Amino acid sequence: MNTNFFNQIAQLDFTGNLQLTITKGTENNLIVTVLLNNEQCGDSAKNLIPPLTFNATPQEFDEGFFEQITAPIKTISGVMVDMEAFMKQMEIVKLQSEAEKQKAEKAKKEKEAKDKKYKDGMAKADELEKEGKFREAWIKVPDIAEFPEKADEIRKRKTSLSDKFATPSLFGAMEEPTEEPPQAEEVTADCPIDETEQY
């Protein structure tokens, strides 16, 4: 007896394990269950795909079995392959999502640290200003290059502080030249005396 059963199986388009269960039924019928299982598919939803079940006579199976299973097997196989591809893609998305989440958390921590550094610098400047140490307070005000987003606030603060410590030294600078001209007068006063002595 020559059959081409296995040749026809080989021509089916599927990925995975094709399981056939043949049971004798009533009235000389056969019950054939066809189940495709793809172990490569990691999605447990594949287990929800029901097996194909046929109840027919041996002659009916010989005449139309492969025509009945070809399209469904191809579809089921494609679904499982797609499910696996989807699962792999979802894994990639999950990993990227984790990376993005870690990146966002790192950026958040860096921002919090930067904000804390800025607030600490301004608080120290306030403290020194209350103590009347305006120059030291001016130095403790954070640098614009480090906090460009707060540039206006930093400029105003530094200007406010520099006005407080610059004012006394400005007067001091004005007093010094006033003291020097009397010395110059003394020198001029000495000169005429010398001239008188020569006569």
Question: What average pLDDT does range 51-70 have in this prediction?
Answer: 90
Q: Where are the beta strands (DSSP E) in the chain?
A: 17-24, 30-37, 52-56
Say yes or no: 137 and 111 in one domain.
Answer: no
How far from 153 is each of 27, 54, 144, 159, 160, CA to CA, in Å? 95, 81, 9, 10, 11
Contacts of 146 (CB under 8 A, 6+ apart): none
Residue 128 confidence class, pLDDT cut points 50, 70, 90 = confident
Same domain (yes/no): 85, 164? no
Is a pLDDT exceeding 70 seen at residue 167? no
DSSP string, 131-150: TT-HHHHHHHSPPTTT-GGG
Last residue of a domain, one of 85, 104, 125: 125
Assess whether 71 and 29 both reside in one domain: yes
Q: What is the total residue count of the chain?
A: 199
Among the ranges given (37-46, 48-57, 60-69, 177-186), the one the predictor scored with the smallest mean pLDDT: 177-186
Q: Are residue 120 and residue 23 in the same domain, yes or no?
A: yes
Mean pLDDT, residues 41-46 taken together: 82
Cα angle 65, 70, 75 (rounded to 5 degrees) comes to: 140
| Angle in degrees, CA 75, 76, 81, rounded to 5 | 95
Going by pLDDT thresholds of 50, 70 and 90, the confidence category of residue 2 is low
What is the span of the domain harbouring residue 104? 1-125
- Same domain? 10 vs 45: yes
Considering the domain architecture, whether residues 15 and 110 belong to the same structural domain is answered as: yes
When pLDDT is averaged across residues 95-114 and rounded to a whole number, the result is: 87
**Which one is predicted more confidently, 13 or 162?**
13
Given a contact cutoff of 8 angstroms between Cβ atoms, the answer to whether 36 and 73 are in contact is yes
Q: How many domains does the chain have?
A: 2
Residue 42 pLDDT > 60, yes or no?
yes
Lowest model confidence (mean pLDDT) among 10-14, 43-47, 101-105, 165-169 = 165-169
% of the chain surpassing 90 pLDDT: 10
**Is it the case that residue 171 has pLDDT exceeding 70?**
no
Which range is most confident: 142-151, 160-169, 186-195? 142-151
What's the pLDDT at 103?
87
75 and 2 within one domain: yes
Residues 67 and 138 occupy one common structural domain? no
Neighbours of 79 (CB within 10 A): 17
Mean pLDDT, residues 89-104 taken together: 86
Pair 32, 54: CB distance under 8 Å: yes
Please indicate, yes or no, whether residues 135 and 120 belong to a single structural domain of this protein: no
Residue 30 has a pLDDT of 93
Query: Where is 188: in which H helix or E strand?
Result: helix 151-198
Q: How many CB atoms lie within 10 A of CB 25?
A: 13
- 171 and 186 share one domain: yes
| Same structural domain, 116 and 181 | no
pLDDT at residue 78 is higher than 70: yes
Domain edge (last residue) among 125, 146, 177: 125
Whether 105 and 179 map to the same domain: the answer is no
Name residue, tokens 């400029």: 155
User: Where a domain ends, among 71, 96, 125?
Assistant: 125
Most confidently predicted of 159-163, 166-170, 175-179: 159-163
Handedness of CA 94, 97, 101, 107 (dihedral sign): positive
- What is the per-residue pLDDT for 23? 93
